Structure 1
Amino acid sequence: MSTFSERMGLKPIRTIVQLNDMDDDLRNSLWNVLDRRLFGLSDFDSERFTEALWWHFFKKPVDRRQIYHSGFGSPNYSEVWEEVRSFFFKCKWNEVYDFIEFVLRAFPANRSIRDLLNKTLERESSGFRVIDGRLAPISDEIEVGEVSKAIGEGSPSVIAHLRGALEHLTDRSNPDYRNSIKEAISAVESMAKIVSGQPKATLGDALKSLERNGKLHPSLKEAFLKLYGYTSDANGIRHALLGESSLNQADARYFLVVCSAFINLIKVEAA
């Protein structure tokens, strides 16, 4: 929501999605969510979390944490948290997201934190959203919903392929867009085979079976078969690469979203 100053033209409205950087508003807001809704809670286990953080994230000696023991009561972790805080506000923008993913993996059942982080990312115009414990370069809420639903409500084989697609897409150090698209298409293949009852059928066979049974509109079948055909021809996605691939993040994101939406549609039609 815009402020009074923005509506009056006294302050510029920020419209640029933050994909390759992070301004102070976003960084501060993300920290506030973690600090007030997780780290600062009275029952938060600082011993267990910071030990895991030092061991698996910072890769520092666990016994070098600056824990103060007064001899009475619980140990004091204030200096440990100052070091965590210092890292968060001095590190690169992508390392903030690395840290958040570590926190999400440490507390996979905490849906409240995930939802609060997503609301903050949306409000501060981040180009990323939390999906299945990972920060994905998807900022449209409808698209996020389609991918989340397909992963959260799919069969094991479908979920495995979608998670593979998401993992290849969200690997910030070495993204693999070709294999992300391949996994997304494979997820559709798995879903089509399941609902058509033909475990050994090709995607085309499975879609035709769904059409014959009145579970898929002919136009939708043809549309997806053409999309599937594209992945068989373009840039060697489903076959050996003949040359340098020109696939990019936008391509992989598009296929992940479209395939997730198609999977959700098949589930509804087959129900």
Structure 2
Amino acid sequence: MSFADRFGYTRPEPQRTQIERDSDAVRLVLWNAVSRDGKSPLAAYRKLCEYSQQLPDANIWSDTYADEFARLLLDQMTWLDVYDALEAEASTMKGQSRAELQKSVNRALSRSGIAYEMRDGRFEFYEPVANEFETRHDEDEAIASLTDEFEPVRKQYQNALRNLRSMPANLEGAVADALNALEAVAKIIEGKPHATLGDVARNLFPGSPGYHVPLRLAIEKLYAYSNQLPGARHGRYAEPDIAHAETVMVVRMAGAILTFLVTLYRGEATAGSSGSDFDFEF
């Protein structure tokens, strides 16, 4: 799956956008990779033709002659194509050479203020703290759980991630889509088109110990948060005061709850090793 498909981007217009300009340092890293640090413009030309899905001109056969055409090809590539090409280059490398490419890419991204990083040869959203606490892929688990009857919800939650990871980010849109996805799960679970997350939450943990009550309330309160955030689920009557980190937390929490509710609905979650004698259920 391409970089654009994974992060929900559409191909940009031909004119250079801000992110195109911000990606110039990354473009230079690609040039160094395909031209063998500038030693072979001909190799760069042939590689860039491949990445641009163009047939190379047989009359371009020398480094001197290829240099101008290779640089023109590179300049015409969209930033999405550049990122895909760098992933393709990384896939052909191993060991130290791959590590050096990733180091150069990440240095260029950091210098340009672009919130991505290359890890294991692929671009990922840059979240150093999430890496430390191993929470960065909670959203991926939510996406993976939303199959079969939950497929429409999957698309809405992907919209939340797209809004969160776009440049610039649409923070209130990310909150709205994440919580709308939760509401959609509630409608499917309850089998009622007008069901709400509160309806599902009230049916959680029947007969379980009292300490599940605040957990149930927390799920309901997350939904209330989105109702009160200007522009998220109701009219944008004021400028929302919301930080990117806060939005990441809300979207990630929504994803975790999505996974939990779908797991319960499918009867796949039990108390197990907790020592309790009851099953988690609706």
- The bucket for the TM-score relative to the shorter chain is 0.5 to 0.7
State the alpha-carbon separation in 2 of the partners of residues 187 and 77 from structure 1: 51
- Alignment of 1:145 with 2:133, yes or no, is no
Mapping of 1:93-242 within 5 angstroms?
98-100=80-82, 120=102, 127-128=115-116, 136-139=125-128, 140-141=130-131, 142-155=134-147, 156-172=151-167, 174-212=168-206, 217-242=212-237
CA RMSD, 1 decimal: 4.9
For normalisation by structure 1, the TM-score amounts to 0.57
* Unmatched 5+ stretches in structure 1: 1-20, 53-64, 89-94
SS at match of 2:203: helix
Change (3 A) 1:194 1:210: farther
1:190/1:120 Cα in 2 relative to 1: closer, same or farther (>3 Å)? farther
Secondary structure of the residue aligned to 1:211 is coil
For 1:243 and 1:100, the matched residues in 2 are separated by 38
- Provide the rounded CA distance (Å) in 2 between the counterparts of 1:35 and 1:154: 43
Structure 2: distance between partners of 1:161 and 1:179: 11
- The letter of the residue matching 2:218 is A
From the superposition, tell whether residues 136 and 267 of structure 1 become closer, same or farther in structure 2 (CA, over 3 Å).
same
Quote the residue 1:69 is aligned against.
58
Matched to 1:154, the amino acid is L
Structure 2 gaps of 5+ residues are 1-21, 37-42, 93-97, 269-282
Match of 1:50 in 2: 52
The C-alpha deviation readout for 1:96-148, integer Å capped at 9, x for no partner, is 5x4455659x99xxxx69xx99x948986965358xx9854544233321111
User: Residues of 2 paired with 1:71 and 1:35: CA distance?
Assistant: 15
Residues 129 and 222 (structure 1), Cα distance of their counterparts in 2 relative to 1, 3 Å cut: farther
> TM-score, normalising length from structure 2?
0.55
Could you tell me the percent identity over the aligned residues? 22
State the match for 2:275 in structure 1: none
Counterpart code for 1:193: K
- Cα distance in 2 between the residues matched to 1:33 and 1:221: 52
Q: Partner residue of 1:246?
A: 241
